[in-house]
Structure 1
Amino acid sequence: MFMALGWKLVIDAGDPHQQAVFWSEALEYVIEDNSPLIEQLLAAKAAPESLTIEFQSRRYWRDYAAVRHPDDPFDPVSGTGQGRRLLFTRVPEAKTVKNRLHVDVHSEGRRDETVARLQKHGATLLRHVKEPGGEWTVLTDPEGNEFCVS
């Protein structure tokens, strides 16, 4: 008998924390709060402060930030989501080519409203597509990653 495997989508980012803010707004997810674990590790001198930053009045890992579905379980010690989540990891290079993988945001019949809301949060409209099989809007997040709203 096979069991389905858990997963998370990891997205390279120049600024993982700003990407987490955008995607938490886009998906109505919550930004994972790792600060209790980080504070414990700093107090025990098990992690150097240089690996962390202060962001939105909390301590975060410098090179990582994540968002999770608000209804999914999470580890109360680390704050890490155990269900649907996106992890943003800092990379030195900027995005240069089209994504080979993208997120489709399902707007539950509120596409225009959702697109307008996302544009207020930094998304850029690329194009609107209408085909016999469906209709969607293609946007980019603040770092240029393509995604669709259907």
Structure 2
Amino acid sequence: MAYEFQVTLDCARPHELADWWAEALDWEVEPQDEGFIRSMIEQGHATEDETTRHNGKLVWRSGAAIRHPDGLERAPRLLFQLVPEPKTVKNRMHLDLRTGDDRDAVVQRLVAKGATFLHDGRQGPSTWVTLADPEGNELCVS
């Protein structure tokens, strides 16, 4: 049996990082149902402390997710999960973005949006650029 999965990134600011990655990938931030959140609080299943406001909307403080515009059948969702500790070492896993566009233009766009250039990579005929997102998570662009 094959499993479905999502990719989860630990971070300090999940909503802001979800926005950044959604823009970087041209994906969509999953909406959070404000009515459902309020209902969970009213029923005692959650507290106000578990929520925050982002872009004027009530959302769960602990996370945000993005998905491909064609849905989960096209690609797994990315979940950005709030954690208290900062990132301190290199990721053991990262995303590789394969562009159909001019790679250097994509790199320039991501750097202009807050990514940090780390290095150029090469293995045989394959080349890529390694960047870090605004919270330091590595990604490669090829």
Answer whether TM exceeds 0.5 for this pair: yes
Letter matched to residue 6 of structure 2: K
Please list the CA deviations of residues 11-42 of structure 1 after superposition, one character each: whole Å capped at 9, or x if unmatched.
Answer: 11011111101111111111111134323434
Gaps of 5+ in 1: 75-81
1:8–1:84 contact (8 Å) kept in structure 2: yes
Q: What TM-score, normalized by structure 2, do the two folds share? A: 0.89
- The answer to whether 1:113 aligns with 2:111 is no
SS in 2 for 1:100: coil
List runs of 5+ in structure 2 lacking aligned partners: none
**CA deviation after TM superposition for structure 1 residue 92, in Å:** 1.0
CA–CA separation in structure 2 for the residues paired with 1:11 and 1:134? 26
1:47 positional shift: 2.3
Cα distance, 1:45 vs structure 2:
4.7
Corresponding position of 2:8: 10
1:38-53 → structure 2 map (5 Å cutoff): 38-53=37-52
Provide runs of 4+ in structure 1 moved above 6 Å.
none
Cα deviation per residue 1:112-144 (whole Å; 9 max; x = unaligned)?
A: 111111112110011112332401000000111
Question: Is the CA contact 1:129–1:138 (under 8 Å) kept in the aligned structure 2?
Answer: yes
**Superposed CA offset, 1:40-83 (max 9, x none):** 43454542222111101211110111111111059xxxxxxx95
Report 1:54-93 matches (<5 A). 54-72=53-71, 84-93=76-85
User: Which is further off, 31-40 or 121-130?
Assistant: 31-40
**Structure 1 residue 109: Cα displacement:** 3.6
CA distance in 1, matches of 2:76, 2:56: 25
Question: What is the CA–CA distance in structure 2 between the aligned matches of 1:46 and 1:131, rounded to whole Å?
Answer: 52
Between 40-49 and 86-95, report the one with greater CA deviation.
40-49
Q: Is the aligned partner of 1:141 residue 2:133?
A: yes
Question: Secondary structure in 2 aligned to 1:17?
Answer: helix
The share of aligned pairs that are identical, in percent, is: 41
Indicate conservation of the 8 Å contact 1:126/1:139, yes or no. Answer: yes
CA change 1:73–1:146 in 2 (3 A) is: closer
